[in-house]
Amino acid sequence: TKPLLELKGIKKLYPVRKGLIIQKQIGTVRAVDGVSFRLMPGETLSVVGESGCGKSTTARLAMRLIEPSEGTIHYDGQDITHAPRAELRRLRREMQIIFQDPYASLNPRMTVEEIIAEPMVVHNVGDNASRRDRVRELLRLVDLAPYHASRYPHEFSGGQRQRIGIARALSVSPRLIVCDEPVSALDVSIQAQIINLLKDLQQEFGLTYLFISHGLAVVKHVSDRVAVMYLGQVVETADKATLYANPRHPYTQALLAAAPEPDPTRRSAGRTLGGDIPSPLNPPSGCRFHTRCPLAQPRCSAEIPALREIGAGHLAACHFAETVPDFTRFRDGYGI
Ligand code: SF4
Ligand code: MG
Protein backbone atom coordinates (compact mmCIF):
# COMPACT_ATOMS: atom_id res chain seq x y z
CA THR A 1 0.00 0.00 0.00
CA LYS A 2 1.10 3.55 -0.64
CA PRO A 3 1.18 6.33 1.97
CA LEU A 4 -1.91 8.50 2.33
CA LEU A 5 0.28 11.43 3.29
CA GLU A 6 3.97 11.97 2.75
CA LEU A 7 6.05 14.98 3.76
CA LYS A 8 9.59 15.27 2.41
CA GLY A 9 12.05 17.84 3.71
CA ILE A 10 9.30 20.27 4.68
CA LYS A 11 10.42 23.69 5.92
CA LYS A 12 8.56 26.74 7.09
CA LEU A 13 10.89 29.69 7.51
CA TYR A 14 9.87 33.21 8.50
CA PRO A 15 12.29 36.03 7.74
CA VAL A 16 12.65 38.50 10.61
CA ARG A 17 13.19 42.12 9.53
CA LYS A 18 14.21 45.18 11.44
CA GLY A 19 14.24 48.87 10.61
CA LEU A 20 11.57 51.49 9.99
CA ILE A 21 12.38 52.75 6.52
CA ILE A 22 15.02 50.45 5.20
CA GLN A 23 14.21 46.97 6.43
CA LYS A 24 17.04 44.58 6.89
CA GLN A 25 16.62 40.87 7.41
CA ILE A 26 18.21 40.11 10.76
CA GLY A 27 17.45 36.42 10.89
CA THR A 28 15.12 33.55 10.09
CA VAL A 29 12.69 31.81 12.37
CA ARG A 30 13.07 28.16 11.49
CA ALA A 31 9.60 27.09 12.66
CA VAL A 32 9.72 23.79 10.78
CA ASP A 33 13.13 22.86 9.49
CA GLY A 34 13.27 19.76 7.31
CA VAL A 35 10.50 17.42 8.48
CA SER A 36 9.80 14.16 6.63
CA PHE A 37 7.34 11.41 7.42
CA ARG A 38 4.87 8.99 5.87
CA LEU A 39 1.42 8.24 7.09
CA MET A 40 -0.10 4.96 5.89
CA PRO A 41 -3.88 4.55 5.49
CA GLY A 42 -5.57 3.62 8.76
CA GLU A 43 -2.50 4.48 10.80
CA THR A 44 -2.00 6.93 13.65
CA LEU A 45 1.21 8.92 13.69
CA SER A 46 1.71 11.10 16.73
CA VAL A 47 3.91 14.17 16.58
CA VAL A 48 5.09 15.08 20.05
CA GLY A 49 7.10 17.94 21.49
CA GLU A 50 7.05 20.98 23.77
CA SER A 51 5.19 24.13 22.75
CA GLY A 52 7.01 25.98 20.00
CA CYS A 53 8.64 22.85 18.56
CA GLY A 54 6.73 23.26 15.30
CA LYS A 55 4.28 20.39 15.68
CA SER A 56 1.13 22.44 15.07
CA THR A 57 2.77 24.25 12.17
CA THR A 58 3.73 20.85 10.73
CA ALA A 59 0.08 19.74 10.98
CA ARG A 60 -1.10 22.89 9.21
CA LEU A 61 1.52 22.42 6.50
CA ALA A 62 0.40 18.80 6.04
CA MET A 63 -3.17 20.03 5.47
CA ARG A 64 -1.89 22.80 3.21
CA LEU A 65 -3.54 25.43 5.40
CA ILE A 66 -0.18 27.17 5.09
CA GLU A 67 2.33 26.83 2.27
CA PRO A 68 5.76 25.34 2.91
CA SER A 69 8.96 27.29 2.18
CA GLU A 70 10.68 24.12 0.98
CA GLY A 71 9.98 20.43 0.52
CA THR A 72 7.12 18.42 -0.95
CA ILE A 73 3.76 17.12 0.28
CA HIS A 74 2.04 14.18 -1.37
CA TYR A 75 -1.52 13.21 -0.56
CA ASP A 76 -2.77 9.88 -1.89
CA GLY A 77 0.04 9.81 -4.43
CA GLN A 78 -0.61 13.34 -5.69
CA ASP A 79 1.84 16.22 -5.27
CA ILE A 80 -0.15 18.88 -3.44
CA THR A 81 2.79 21.08 -2.43
CA HIS A 82 1.55 23.95 -4.58
CA ALA A 83 -1.96 22.74 -5.34
CA PRO A 84 -4.26 25.58 -6.41
CA ARG A 85 -7.22 26.70 -4.35
CA ALA A 86 -9.86 24.72 -6.29
CA GLU A 87 -7.95 21.50 -5.79
CA LEU A 88 -7.37 22.23 -2.13
CA ARG A 89 -11.09 22.64 -1.69
CA ARG A 90 -11.73 19.03 -2.70
CA LEU A 91 -8.82 17.97 -0.52
CA ARG A 92 -10.08 19.80 2.54
CA ARG A 93 -13.15 17.62 2.52
CA GLU A 94 -10.92 14.57 2.93
CA MET A 95 -8.72 16.18 5.59
CA GLN A 96 -10.49 17.43 8.67
CA ILE A 97 -9.10 18.84 11.90
CA ILE A 98 -10.11 18.55 15.53
CA PHE A 99 -8.91 21.47 17.60
CA GLN A 100 -7.33 21.65 21.02
CA ASP A 101 -9.79 23.92 22.75
CA PRO A 102 -13.40 22.75 22.53
CA TYR A 103 -14.46 25.99 24.25
CA ALA A 104 -12.93 28.29 21.65
CA SER A 105 -13.43 26.24 18.50
CA LEU A 106 -17.26 26.04 18.50
CA ASN A 107 -19.18 29.16 17.51
CA PRO A 108 -21.30 30.07 20.57
CA ARG A 109 -24.07 31.56 18.37
CA MET A 110 -24.63 28.42 16.35
CA THR A 111 -26.71 25.44 17.40
CA VAL A 112 -25.06 22.03 17.58
CA GLU A 113 -26.94 21.13 14.41
CA GLU A 114 -25.55 24.14 12.54
CA ILE A 115 -22.05 23.47 13.84
CA ILE A 116 -22.01 19.83 12.79
CA ALA A 117 -23.67 20.54 9.44
CA GLU A 118 -21.31 23.41 8.56
CA PRO A 119 -18.67 21.34 6.69
CA MET A 120 -21.48 19.67 4.70
CA VAL A 121 -22.80 23.11 3.73
CA VAL A 122 -19.31 24.34 2.81
CA HIS A 123 -18.66 21.27 0.66
CA ASN A 124 -22.18 21.02 -0.81
CA VAL A 125 -22.89 17.62 0.66
CA GLY A 126 -26.56 16.62 0.62
CA ASP A 127 -29.66 18.78 1.01
CA ASN A 128 -31.20 20.22 4.17
CA ALA A 129 -33.24 17.11 4.96
CA SER A 130 -30.37 14.67 4.51
CA ARG A 131 -28.03 16.91 6.53
CA ARG A 132 -30.58 16.93 9.32
CA ASP A 133 -30.62 13.14 9.41
CA ARG A 134 -26.87 12.98 9.14
CA VAL A 135 -26.42 15.32 12.14
CA ARG A 136 -28.52 13.00 14.28
CA GLU A 137 -26.62 9.97 13.08
CA LEU A 138 -23.31 11.73 13.87
CA LEU A 139 -24.49 12.67 17.35
CA ARG A 140 -25.23 9.01 18.04
CA LEU A 141 -21.78 8.05 16.71
CA VAL A 142 -20.09 10.29 19.29
CA ASP A 143 -22.43 9.06 22.05
CA LEU A 144 -24.58 12.17 22.33
CA ALA A 145 -28.38 12.02 22.27
CA PRO A 146 -29.94 13.34 19.03
CA TYR A 147 -32.11 15.88 20.88
CA HIS A 148 -28.94 17.87 21.65
CA ALA A 149 -29.01 19.10 18.03
CA SER A 150 -31.02 22.21 18.89
CA ARG A 151 -28.84 23.26 21.84
CA TYR A 152 -25.91 25.70 22.03
CA PRO A 153 -22.27 24.94 22.90
CA HIS A 154 -22.40 26.65 26.32
CA GLU A 155 -24.87 24.01 27.49
CA PHE A 156 -22.20 21.31 27.24
CA SER A 157 -19.15 20.19 29.20
CA GLY A 158 -15.67 20.25 27.69
CA GLY A 159 -15.79 16.55 26.88
CA GLN A 160 -19.20 16.87 25.23
CA ARG A 161 -18.00 19.85 23.20
CA GLN A 162 -15.07 17.85 21.96
CA ARG A 163 -17.53 15.11 20.90
CA ILE A 164 -19.40 17.79 18.92
CA GLY A 165 -16.11 18.85 17.32
CA ILE A 166 -15.43 15.23 16.37
CA ALA A 167 -18.94 14.86 14.90
CA ARG A 168 -18.35 17.97 12.81
CA ALA A 169 -15.03 16.62 11.52
CA LEU A 170 -16.71 13.31 10.60
CA SER A 171 -19.68 14.91 8.85
CA VAL A 172 -18.04 14.98 5.41
CA SER A 173 -16.56 11.45 5.70
CA PRO A 174 -12.87 12.45 5.75
CA ARG A 175 -10.02 9.99 5.28
CA LEU A 176 -7.46 11.92 7.32
CA ILE A 177 -8.09 13.70 10.60
CA VAL A 178 -5.53 15.97 12.20
CA CYS A 179 -6.08 15.82 15.94
CA ASP A 180 -4.36 18.94 17.31
CA GLU A 181 -4.02 18.24 21.04
CA PRO A 182 -7.70 17.23 21.20
CA VAL A 183 -7.64 16.30 24.89
CA SER A 184 -5.08 18.77 26.32
CA ALA A 185 -7.79 21.13 27.57
CA LEU A 186 -9.85 18.35 29.19
CA ASP A 187 -9.84 16.81 32.65
CA VAL A 188 -7.69 13.71 32.90
CA SER A 189 -10.79 11.61 33.63
CA ILE A 190 -12.38 12.75 30.35
CA GLN A 191 -9.23 12.40 28.25
CA ALA A 192 -9.38 8.59 28.13
CA GLN A 193 -13.03 8.66 27.01
CA ILE A 194 -12.24 10.92 24.08
CA ILE A 195 -9.14 8.90 23.15
CA ASN A 196 -11.21 5.70 23.21
CA LEU A 197 -13.91 7.31 21.09
CA LEU A 198 -11.29 8.38 18.53
CA LYS A 199 -9.89 4.84 18.45
CA ASP A 200 -13.36 3.31 17.98
CA LEU A 201 -14.17 5.73 15.14
CA GLN A 202 -10.84 4.93 13.50
CA GLN A 203 -11.70 1.23 13.55
CA GLU A 204 -15.19 1.79 12.22
CA PHE A 205 -14.30 4.15 9.38
CA GLY A 206 -10.68 3.24 8.63
CA LEU A 207 -9.57 6.76 9.50
CA THR A 208 -5.97 7.93 9.37
CA TYR A 209 -4.86 10.19 12.22
CA LEU A 210 -2.09 12.72 12.54
CA PHE A 211 -2.12 13.27 16.27
CA ILE A 212 -0.41 16.29 17.81
CA SER A 213 0.53 16.28 21.50
CA HIS A 214 2.92 18.00 23.90
CA GLY A 215 3.38 14.86 25.96
CA LEU A 216 4.08 11.19 25.34
CA ALA A 217 1.65 9.84 27.96
CA VAL A 218 -1.45 11.08 26.11
CA VAL A 219 -0.56 9.40 22.82
CA LYS A 220 0.61 6.08 24.23
CA HIS A 221 -2.69 4.32 23.57
CA VAL A 222 -3.64 5.99 20.32
CA SER A 223 -0.38 5.83 18.32
CA ASP A 224 1.02 3.30 15.91
CA ARG A 225 4.16 5.37 15.42
CA VAL A 226 5.56 8.43 17.15
CA ALA A 227 7.75 11.27 15.89
CA VAL A 228 9.38 13.46 18.55
CA MET A 229 10.10 17.06 17.51
CA TYR A 230 12.51 19.57 18.98
CA LEU A 231 13.01 23.11 17.65
CA GLY A 232 11.45 22.46 14.26
CA GLN A 233 13.01 19.07 13.59
CA VAL A 234 12.18 15.41 14.15
CA VAL A 235 14.80 14.06 16.57
CA GLU A 236 13.48 10.52 16.91
CA THR A 237 10.82 8.36 15.29
CA ALA A 238 9.87 4.73 15.77
CA ASP A 239 6.90 2.44 16.17
CA LYS A 240 5.21 2.92 19.50
CA ALA A 241 6.57 -0.19 21.24
CA THR A 242 10.17 0.65 20.33
CA LEU A 243 9.94 4.32 21.20
CA TYR A 244 8.54 3.77 24.69
CA ALA A 245 10.73 0.77 25.54
CA ASN A 246 14.00 1.87 23.97
CA PRO A 247 14.17 5.64 23.48
CA ARG A 248 17.54 6.48 21.95
CA HIS A 249 17.46 10.28 21.87
CA PRO A 250 18.10 12.02 25.21
CA TYR A 251 15.21 14.40 24.50
CA THR A 252 12.75 11.52 24.06
CA GLN A 253 14.07 10.04 27.29
CA ALA A 254 13.48 13.34 29.08
CA LEU A 255 9.91 13.59 27.69
CA LEU A 256 9.19 10.07 28.93
CA ALA A 257 10.51 10.97 32.37
CA ALA A 258 8.32 14.10 32.36
CA ALA A 259 5.09 12.18 31.71
CA PRO A 260 2.32 12.78 34.28
CA GLU A 261 2.48 9.12 35.22
CA PRO A 262 6.16 8.48 34.71
CA ASP A 263 7.68 5.07 34.54
CA PRO A 264 8.78 4.49 38.17
CA THR A 265 12.20 3.39 36.94
CA ARG A 266 12.81 6.83 35.42
CA ARG A 267 13.88 9.96 37.27
CA SER A 268 11.38 12.77 37.52
CA ALA A 269 11.23 15.61 35.06
CA GLY A 270 12.58 18.41 37.20
CA ARG A 271 15.82 16.61 37.74
CA THR A 272 16.35 15.46 34.20
CA LEU A 273 15.72 18.37 31.86
CA GLY A 274 16.37 21.95 32.81
CA GLY A 275 16.84 25.13 30.86
CA ASP A 276 14.56 27.07 28.56
CA ILE A 277 13.71 26.05 25.04
CA PRO A 278 16.02 28.10 22.80
CA SER A 279 14.47 30.44 20.24
CA PRO A 280 13.86 29.03 16.75
CA LEU A 281 15.37 32.34 15.59
CA ASN A 282 19.02 31.40 15.19
CA PRO A 283 18.83 28.02 16.93
CA PRO A 284 21.88 26.51 18.70
CA SER A 285 24.76 25.25 16.56
CA GLY A 286 25.40 21.56 16.01
CA CYS A 287 22.80 19.50 17.82
CA ARG A 288 19.99 21.92 18.68
CA PHE A 289 19.43 20.06 21.93
CA HIS A 290 23.00 20.52 23.20
CA THR A 291 22.13 23.50 25.44
CA ARG A 292 19.83 21.26 27.49
CA CYS A 293 21.18 17.78 26.93
CA PRO A 294 22.62 16.17 30.07
CA LEU A 295 24.81 13.95 27.89
CA ALA A 296 26.27 16.64 25.60
CA GLN A 297 29.88 16.27 24.47
CA PRO A 298 32.15 18.85 22.79
CA ARG A 299 31.29 17.35 19.41
CA CYS A 300 27.59 18.12 19.93
CA SER A 301 27.85 21.91 19.58
CA ALA A 302 30.09 21.61 16.53
CA GLU A 303 28.47 18.96 14.39
CA ILE A 304 24.84 18.56 13.33
CA PRO A 305 23.64 15.00 14.00
CA ALA A 306 21.77 13.52 11.03
CA LEU A 307 18.45 11.78 11.53
CA ARG A 308 19.57 8.24 10.72
CA GLU A 309 18.26 4.72 10.97
CA ILE A 310 19.53 2.93 14.06
CA GLY A 311 17.12 -0.01 13.91
CA ALA A 312 14.27 -1.21 11.72
CA GLY A 313 12.07 1.86 11.23
CA HIS A 314 13.80 3.54 14.17
CA LEU A 315 15.48 6.86 13.39
CA ALA A 316 17.31 9.14 15.79
CA ALA A 317 19.29 12.37 15.42
CA CYS A 318 21.98 12.01 18.08
CA HIS A 319 25.69 11.38 17.51
CA PHE A 320 25.62 8.78 20.24
CA ALA A 321 22.16 7.24 19.68
CA GLU A 322 23.46 3.66 19.61
CA THR A 323 25.51 3.97 22.77
CA VAL A 324 23.90 6.58 25.05
CA PRO A 325 22.40 5.01 28.13
CA ASP A 326 18.82 5.94 28.98
CA PHE A 327 19.99 8.65 31.37
CA THR A 328 16.61 8.92 33.09
CA ARG A 329 17.11 5.41 34.43
CA PHE A 330 20.28 6.31 36.32
CA ARG A 331 20.02 7.71 39.82
CA ASP A 332 23.69 8.72 40.07
CA GLY A 333 26.23 9.98 37.65
CA TYR A 334 26.28 12.61 34.92
CA GLY A 335 26.45 15.20 37.70
CA ILE A 336 22.76 16.07 37.38
FE1 SF4 B 1 22.78 15.21 23.36
FE2 SF4 B 1 24.90 15.36 21.76
FE3 SF4 B 1 23.05 13.52 21.30
FE4 SF4 B 1 22.54 16.10 20.85
S5 SF4 B 1 24.03 14.82 19.77
S6 SF4 B 1 21.21 14.66 21.87
S7 SF4 B 1 23.67 17.09 22.52
S8 SF4 B 1 24.38 13.64 23.12
MG1 MG C 1 -0.17 24.03 19.41
Per-residue pLDDT of the chain (336 residues; tens, 9 = 90+): 899 999 999 999 998 888 878 888 888 899 999 999 999 999 999 999 998 899 999 999 999 999 999 999 999 999 999 999 888 988 889 999 998 887 788 999 999 999 999 999 999 999 999 999 999 999 999 999 999 999 999 999 999 999 999 999 999 999 999 999 999 889 888 999 999 999 999 999 999 999 999 999 889 999 999 999 999 999 999 999 999 999 999 999 999 987 766 667 776 644 557 778 888 888 899 999 999 998 999 999 999 999 999 999 999 999 999 998 887 776 544 444
- Residue 314 beta carbon below 6 angstroms from any ligand 1 atom: no
- Residue 295 beta carbon below 6 angstroms from any ligand 1 atom: yes
Q: At CA 100, angle to CA 215 and CA 165, rounded to 5?
A: 135
Atom of ligand 1 nearest to the CA of 300: 2
The CATH class of the 1-223 domain is: alpha beta
Q: Beginning with the edge strand found earlier in the chain, give each strand of the sheet holding 70-75 in spatial order.
A: 24-39, 5-18, 70-75, 78-79
Q: Which residues pair with 70 in a beta bridge?
A: 11
Atom of ligand 1 nearest to the CA of 319: 5
**Under a CB-based contact definition with an 8 Å cutoff, are residues 9 and 73 in contact?**
no
**Under a CB-based contact definition with an 8 Å cutoff, are residues 260 and 215 in contact?**
yes
User: In the chain, where are the structural domains located?
Assistant: 1-223, 231-336
CA 22 to chain centre: 38
